[in-house]
């Protein structure tokens, strides 16, 4: 058994409940933050002695970081619970590989792993729009919205040729790529972050299915992802 698998099996994490995020966020907020000295001691105990209790503290003390990062990806029309679950897997990878002797905090190191895990999941789920796999395409996909805000673009208004050129220059992609990606992302950008109902934690995006694929393909993809998460969460609850 690999160290990562052992960690996943032995660190029971709180699950995002079906009735919304509020209860989950309240639950993870009860885990205390670590001082630098505590973090280093726990990291050494986990790495050198395989101390599962130490690993548990390292993981749970950073669940708030995962939730914060996952919420930034809500605009892609995917359930927040799945984004958080993917981010938690990235966090475990970071805990496994963390070297306290390098002098920086675990949070600084973990951000890369958490974002990488979430972004990979988003890209897999958005395959229906042919996002692409090149570094430039991924960069455009994850930065287009931010760049539009940065240049003062008004939501719902077409990009001007000057704005398209500026985005293309900054992200080092072609103007045609910018236009194409903007059209694809706008097709699903229908107030995904607005509440589905008053007094509800759920958002419209939690109920949206991808369009373009057949219902059978959509269902197969969702079931595959759900099964993977069920297996992981079942393992987490066994110990």
**What CATH number did the domain enclosing 232 receive?**
1.20.120.1810
Other Cβ atoms less than 10 A from the Cβ of 78: the count is 23
The answer to whether the predicted template modeling score (pTM) of the entire model surpasses 0.85 is no
Say what the pLDDT of residue 192 is.
Answer: 41
Q: Where are the alpha helices (DSSP H) in 103-187?
A: 106-125, 135-150, 161-171, 175-186
Token representation of residue 117: 């895990």
Residues 9 and 104 in one domain: yes
Angle between helices 3-10 and 215-238 (to 10 degrees): 80
Residues 111 and 70 in one domain: yes
The domain containing residue 100 runs over which residues? 3-125+223-238
Say what the pLDDT of residue 141 is.
Answer: 83
What is the number of structural domains in the chain? 2
Residues with Cβ within 8 Å of residue 216, at least 6 apart in sequence: none
Residues 142 and 233 in one domain: no
Does residue 120 lie within any of the structural domains? Answer: yes
Rounded Cα gap, residues 177 and 142, in angstroms:
13
Say what the pLDDT of residue 131 is.
Answer: 64
Token representation of residue 203: 């958002």
Rounded Cα gap, residues 50 and 24, in angstroms:
28
Number of residues that make up the chain? 239
Q: What are the 10-residue block averages of pLDDT along the chain, 239 residues in total? A: 51 61 88 94 94 94 95 84 92 92 90 92 69 74 86 81 92 89 67 42 41 41 52 48
Residues with Cβ within 8 Å of residue 14, at least 6 apart in sequence: 24, 27, 28, 63
Residues 9 and 70 in one domain: yes
Say what the pLDDT of residue 58 is.
Answer: 96
Residues 106 and 179 in one domain: no
């Amino acid at each position: 058994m690999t160290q990562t698998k052992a960690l996943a099996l032995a660190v029971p994490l709180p699950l995002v409940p079906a009735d919304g995020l509020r209860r989950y966020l309240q639950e993870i907020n009860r885990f205390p933050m670590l001082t630098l000295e505590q973090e280093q001691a726990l990291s050494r105990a986990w790495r050198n002695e395989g101390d599962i209790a130490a690993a548990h503290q390292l993981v749970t003390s950073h669940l708030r970081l995962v939730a914060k990062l996952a919420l930034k990806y809500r605009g892609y029309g995917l359930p927040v619970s799945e984004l958080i679950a993917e981010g938690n897997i990235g966090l475990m990878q970071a805990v496994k590989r963390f070297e306290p002797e390098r002098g920086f905090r675990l949070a600084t190191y973990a951000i890369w792993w958490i974002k990488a895990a979430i972004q990979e999941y988003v890209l897999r789920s958005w395959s229906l729009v042919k996002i692409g796999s090149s570094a430039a395409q991924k960069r455009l996909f994850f930065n287009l919205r931010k760049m539009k805000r940065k240049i003062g673009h008004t939501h719902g208004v077409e990009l001007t040729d000057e704005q398209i050129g500026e985005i293309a220059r900054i992200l080092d992609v072609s103007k045609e790529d910018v236009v194409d990606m903007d059209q694809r992302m706008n097709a699903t950008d229908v107030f995904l972050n607005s509440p589905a109902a008053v007094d509800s934690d759920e958002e419209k995006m939690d109920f949206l299915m991808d369009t373009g694929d057949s219902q059978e393909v959509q269902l197969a993809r969702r079931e595959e992802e759900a099964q993977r998460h069920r297996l992981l969460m079942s393992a987490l609850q066994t110990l």
